[in-house]
Amino acid sequence: MKNKWLAAFLAIFFGRWGVHRFYLRQLEVGILYVLLTVFLPFSILGFTISALLGIRDGIKLLLMSEEEFNQKYNNIHFRDRYGNRRKYTPDQNKRNSKYILLDEDEVTTQKTGGYFEKFKKQKEANSLKQSGIKKLKEFEINEAIKDFEKSITINNEDFATHYNLACAYSLNENAVEAFKHLDLAVKLGFNQGSKIQEQEELAYIRIIPVYEKFKNNRFRLTQEMVDELKMRQVNLLEVLQREKQKQADKPKSSYSILFQEFLKDENK
């Protein structure tokens, strides 16, 4: 595992050569630092710029929490050299590593594909998201939900898609799914709390009592809130069933009885 303090030390004192970038497995960026120092027409300027960049990186690393550093740079969290989360584990053929892989199957052992495959998937996910937004504006809610769901199946870390999906589920009065995707959007980086409180499409969930707890918890769900939402859903279903039964038990009007007899005669 990479050490935050060592990385910061390397950045401050040897950052001009990109040593800290090589240490953090960011090879391309490290090479860029070296090229900046060696090949810039005015080498003194290049040396100064790369040194300042190294100091900046060192300060950022020092201010970073251990948890954030681990999530971004340590392989146990399956992040690549740019700090992005990997969908699959690294090469499974290396069995002498210190990482334990759980529930290994055919999916976890396959490779992620090249750059063009990743670009193709991102383009497909974005196309589905835009299609969902268009349908949502045209009030084709169920079709919009289908497109958003397909989009997050390809790219589950796009907070904009989760936010739009929350709006769609709110319009469909599906509170559980609306809160779930709103929570995911905030978790992934959506930080416009004022928009959540003003968005017209989210009006339905704002009248639910759980919303106040949700808002006070910085728009994040807890298990208690989830349980409360599920109980509310069960209670609503029970109320609807009782109303349906009441309507069925009501005595039929004479006109209704005559009409049913007429239909029977017609079908004979």
Over the stretch 46-104, which tens digit does the pLDDT of each residue have?
A: 667 778 888 888 898 888 888 777 777 775 444 444 455 544 444 433 333 333 333 33
Q: What's the CA gap between 229 and 210, in Å, rounded?
A: 7
Average pLDDT, the chain: 78
* 72 C-beta neighbours (distance < 10 Å), count: 18
pLDDT tens digit sequence for 189-207: 999 989 999 999 999 999 9
Q: What's the CA gap between 25 and 171, in Å, rounded?
A: 45
What pLDDT, on a 0 to 100 scale, did the predictor assign at position 109?
41
Helix residue ranges, H only, 111-158: 115-137, 141-154
pLDDT tens digit sequence for 153-192: 999 999 999 999 999 999 998 999 999 999 999 999 999 9
For the chain, give the percent of residues with pLDDT over 90. 35
In which band, very low, low, confident or very high, does the pLDDT at 111 lie, cut at 50, 70 and 90? very low
What pLDDT, on a 0 to 100 scale, did the predictor assign at position 235?
84
In which band, very low, low, confident or very high, does the pLDDT at 146 lie, cut at 50, 70 and 90? very high
In which band, very low, low, confident or very high, does the pLDDT at 12 lie, cut at 50, 70 and 90? confident
Query: Which phi-psi region, left, alpha or beta, contains residue 240 (left: φ > 0; alpha: ψ -120 to 50)?
Result: alpha
Cβ-Cβ contacts under 8 Å for 106 (sequence gap 6 or more): none
What pLDDT, on a 0 to 100 scale, did the predictor assign at position 110?
45
Q: What's the CA gap between 118 and 45, in Å, rounded?
A: 37
Mean pLDDT for 240-247 is 74
In which band, very low, low, confident or very high, does the pLDDT at 253 lie, cut at 50, 70 and 90? low
For the chain, give the percent of residues with pLDDT over 70. 74
pLDDT > 90? residue 217? yes
